[in-house]
Amino acid sequence: MSNVAAGSAAVAAGLAAALLGIAVTALGLVGRYPRWGHAARLLTYLMAAAAVAGVAVMERALITRDFGVKFVADNGSSTTPAIFNVATLWSALEGSILLWALVLCGYTVAVAVRFRRHRNDLMMAWALLVMFAVSAFFFALMVGPADPFIGVEVPAGYDGPGPNPLLQNHILMAFHPPILYLGYVGFTVPFAFAVAALATGRLGEGWLASTRRWTVAAWGFLTFGIVLGAWWSYETLGWGGYWAWDPVENASLLPWLTGTAYLHSVMVQERRGMLRVWNLSLVIATFSLTILGTFLTRSGVLASVHSFTESGIGPAILGFFAVIVAVSLALIAWRGDRLRTPGRIAAPVSREGAFLANNALFAAFAFVVLLGTVFPLLVEAFDGRTISVGNPYFDRMTRPIGFALLFLMAVAPMLPWGGSTRRVPTELLDRRLLVPAWIAAAALVLAVLGGARGWAALLAFGLGGFAGGAALRQIVLAVRRHRWRGLVGRTNGGMTVHLGVVLVAVAFAASQSYVRQAEFDLEANQQASFAGHEIVYLGSAVVVHENRTERVAFVRIDDAKTYGPAIATYPFASQTIGIPSVRSTLRDDVALAVLSFPDEVGPDRVILRVTVQPLVVWLWLGGIVMATGTVLSLVPAGSGRRRPEQVEAAAATAEPVA
């Protein structure tokens, strides 16, 4: 059986399973099919098997270089190294949809298995129905406009172009997209339960409890995926930048912002039963924004380096987005009466008050990013002019929000829940914030002694010290009290995440504020010194790889190791790309990029761009700390606590079906 036939069959089977799943759960919901739970679970297995088969077939086609598959003929190449050959799957549109479907099926199976005991709960039926529907949409995309298994006749001896050179020169490319997808797609689960809650009218905290870990996990993947993406662009683009407010980067940031807001505000609802509409809206917004991001990335409406080339799936995804938003809004409006908040926030200076402020800031942040991203399209639609919105706008508008969030990160964990009292807990804050305040002062003094200047960066360092101090204090106290168990659980894991955020924020401020860059025209064995580093150009050599030819410049930094930034020429892309080389230390990074070798006549020369940026490594370390914190927060926080199953069971039986 050819790869085309097998792949198409797998996709068709997946679509069929998803549609059957919709039918089965729908029948279950109207009471026509009591055994729907069992059947639905089997169908999720079937659907997932189809997705796995589809991906396996595609990988087989890629690895065996079956150019009879159009996707392989367009994106594969006999000379692509093995690891990038596997990663070719997500280097182009159709394959990326296939990967998306696989991840989505994985989540669907996980939900079906995890909640199999509730197989007769109608809330589960609704949730599975939503997940089947979303899966059906993605399978339908692959049957229709984004078919990965189109057969094609190629002449004998044909070799494909391989993926875009930028996508096959760094190992991170193999991990960044799948992890990002695990994050994006993971938000389908809370969304499905939110819709289920709205549909069944069981709008209490049950669905929140059921999906809390799922949301945290998805958020962790998304966070790590974004950090990996920044890391990748830092390593491959070679200009010392890692975040450029590119539309596609913004598209990944938007669900992260609303998701982060949700992770905080959900605690208010769990604790005090408030903000129901708001939490539902955040979950729905997060999922909708992942779909909107998918549209922006794949429709070609917004130009971005990360976007896939133009395709016919734009309208389909946009339509799907519209349906999601319309259905969700209609459901919320319909359930308006039941969403009435039973509790209230009395104390402004309290934990819940801080969460409220946090959510206001994240909402404003998301609004700024969304507006900036789509504003050029709006202006073009209404005014006919083309404009751009980029770095200066986002920097200026998001910076104050960032400062405010750092401040909240310091204060909020110290605040007690307010309950019905309006008393400002001065005594408590006085006691708890003193150490963080000293850490902030120490951070400022250290920064100034280290040569840091400028109010914005210093404010970031000071607030970073404050917030980091607060998080550290919490962790230390918890560890003292519970030993290793003081590191796990939502609160303490969350503090570790906060530490990671502080690292990222400080590294961001430092690397943005104190970056130095210069271009040097060096002959062999010529030396240049820049920003406290000695750079010697030792000469160059041509290295021929199977899929590219590189001319490598050997550059020694600070009389130590030799680095090899290069210019690579890929025959198929008829394009040269720079391969930067970065020397990373905990203190600063020296990034080298070859701009050109202007020595067609005369001695060996190189035009070298040197970027010296402090603390860049801490961005990635911060990302790892955040990921670690996410994992820690997923570990149950010790004995004496209710198991999640018990919570779910309690929540599921708390209310009658509407």
Partner 1 sequence: MSASDLRDPDTAPGTPRPSGSSADRWRTAWIAVPLAVAVALLVVVLATRDSAFERNASSPILGGLAPPVVGVTIAGESFDLDQWRGRWVIVNFFQSTCVPCIVEHPELIAFSERHAAAGDARVVSVTFDDTAENVRRFFEVNGGDWPVLVEGASEAAVAYGVTGVPESYLVAPSGVVVWKQLGGVTADGIDDVISELTTAAATP
Partner 2 sequence: MSRRAASWLAALVVAAAAFLYGAVAEGPPSTNADRVRDLSEDFACPVCAGQSIAESDVPVAREIRRQIAVWVDEGRSDAYIRDELVAAYDADIDYNPSGSGVTSLVWILPLFAGAGIATVVVVMLRPGRARARDSGELPTAGRRRWRNAAVWTVAVVVVAGAAGLLVARSSGSRTADGSITGEIRSTAREKIFEAQQRLSDGDMAGAIAAYDEALELQPSNVEALTYRGWLTSRQGDLAGAAPYLDDAVAMDPAYPDARLFRAIVALEEGDGAGAAQDLAAFDSLDPPPYAEQLLTQSRVRERVAEARDAAALEAVDALAALEERPAFGDTALSVADALAASEALASRGDLLEAVQLLDWVLESRPADPDVLSGRGWLLVRSGDAELFALGVHYLDAALGNDPSNASGLVYRAFARWLHGDTPGAQADLAAFDALPHQPPDLVRLIEDQGLRTALN
Does the footprint of partner 1 cover residue 34 (CB under 8 A)? Answer: no
Stretch that binds partner 2, among 49-57, 88-96, 305-313, 620-628 (CB under 8 A): 305-313
Considering the complex, state which of residue 83 and residue 303 has its C-beta at the smaller distance from partner 2.
303
Segment 540-579, which members bind partner 1 (CB under 8 A)? Answer: none
Residues 235-254 that bind partner 2 (CB under 8 A): 237-239, 241, 244, 246-248
* Token representation of residue 442: 């120490």
Which residues ranging from 399 to 438 are in contact with partner 1 (CB under 8 A)?
413
Question: Which residues inside 562-621 make contact with partner 2, applying CB under 8 A?
Answer: 577-578, 593, 595
Is there binding between residue 392 and partner 2 (CB under 8 A)?
A: yes
Query: Distance between CA 558 and CA 233 in Å, rounded?
Result: 25
Can residue 300 be called a binding residue for partner 1 (CB under 8 A)?
yes
Q: How far is the CB of 485 from partner 1 (least distance, A)?
A: 8
Say whether 201 sits in a helix, a strand or coil.
coil
- Using CB under 8 A, which residues numbered 492 to 551 contact partner 2? 515-519
Q: Which of 372, 368, 402, 374 is nearest to 390 (CA)?
A: 372
Q: Note whether 506 and 618 are within 8 A (CB).
A: yes
Stretch that binds partner 1, among 87-95, 186-194, 205-213, 236-244 (CB under 8 A): 205-213
Q: Which of 29, 52, 277, 346 forms a contact with partner 1 (CB under 8 A)?
A: 277
- Site pattern 589..628 for partner 1 (x: CB under 8 A): ---------x-xx---------------------------
Which of partner 2, partner 1, none has residue 203 at its interface (CB below 5 to 8 Å by kind)? partner 1
Residue 277 binds partner 2 (CB under 8 A): no
> What are the phi and psi torsion angles at 407 (to 5°)?
-60, -45
R_g of the chain computed on alpha carbons: 26
**How many Å apart are CA 302 and CA 305, to the nearest integer?**
10
Please identify, using beta-carbon distances, which residue of 25 and 236 lies nearer to partner 2. Answer: 236
Regarding 364 and contact with partner 2 (CB under 8 A), the answer is: yes
Q: Is 468 in the site for partner 1 (CB under 8 A)?
A: no
Compute the distance between CA of residue 337 and CA of residue 220 in angstroms, rounded to an integer.
34
CA quadruple 11, 16, 19, 25: dihedral, nearest 10: -120
Q: Residues binding partner 2: what is the number (CB under 8 A)?
A: 74
CB of 469 vs partner 1, minimal distance in Å: 15
Distance CA 232, CA 319 (A): 32
Q: Show contacts with partner 1 in window 353-392 (CB under 8 A).
A: 374, 377-378, 380-381, 386
* 478 near partner 1, judged by CB under 8 A: yes
Instruction: Give me the least distance between CB of 434 and partner 1, in Å please.
Output: 16
> Measured at the alpha carbon of residue 370, what is the angle toward residues 364 and 375, in degrees to the nearest 5?
120
**How far apart are alpha carbons 170 and 176 in whole angstroms?**
11
Question: Rule CB under 8 A: which of 285-304 touch partner 2?
Answer: 302-304
383, interface contact from partner 2, partner 1, none, CB < 5-8 Å by kind: partner 2
In angstroms, how far apart are the furthest CA atoms of the chain? Answer: 85
Q: Which stretch binds partner 2 (CB under 8 A): 134-142, 381-389, 539-547, 641-649?
A: 381-389
Q: Answer for the pair 95, 72: CB distance below 8 angstroms, yes or no.
A: no
Sequence-ordered alpha helix ranges (H) in 187-275: 188-200, 206-237, 247-272
Residue 121: CB minimum distance to partner 1, A: 15
End-to-end Cα distance, the chain? 50
Which residue, 105 or 251, has its beta carbon nearer to partner 2?
A: 251
**Residues recorded for the chain:** 658
Q: Which of 338, 399, 556, 583 contacts partner 1 by CB under 8 A? A: 338
What CA–CA distance (Å, rounded) separates 180 from 620? 15
Which residue in 525, 475, 520 sits closest to 498, CA to CA?
475
Q: Per CB under 8 A, which region of 80-88, 113-121, 188-196, 354-362 contacts partner 2?
A: 354-362
Least distance to partner 1 from the beta carbon of 634, Å?
A: 14
Q: Which stretch binds partner 1 (CB under 8 A): 159-167, 184-192, 269-277, 391-399?
A: 269-277
Measured distance CA(364)–CA(398) in Å, rounded: 9
Distance of alpha carbon 652 from the chain centroid: 31
Residue 164 gets the label, from left (phi > 0), alpha (psi -120 to 50) or beta, of beta
CA neighbor of 152 nearest in space, from 63, 70, 57: 70
Contact of residue 95 among partner 2, partner 1, none (CB under 5-8 Å per partner type) = none
Considering beta carbons, is residue 164 or 211 the nearer one to partner 2?
164
Residue type, 98: L
State the minimum distance, in angstroms, from the CB of residue 166 to partner 2. 10
> Could you give phi then psi for residue 40, rounded to 5 degrees?
-65, -40
Concatenate the DSSP letters of all residues of 504-550 into one string.
Answer: HHHHHHHHHHS-EEEEEEEETTEEEEETTEEEEEEEEEEEE-SS-EE
Binding site for partner 1 (CB under 8 A): 201-206, 209, 267, 270-273, 276-277, 295, 299-303, 309-310, 315, 318, 321-322, 325-326, 329-330, 332-333, 335-340, 342-343, 374, 377-378, 380-381, 386, 413, 474, 477-478, 481-482, 486, 489-492, 598, 600-601, 637-638, 641, 651, 654-655
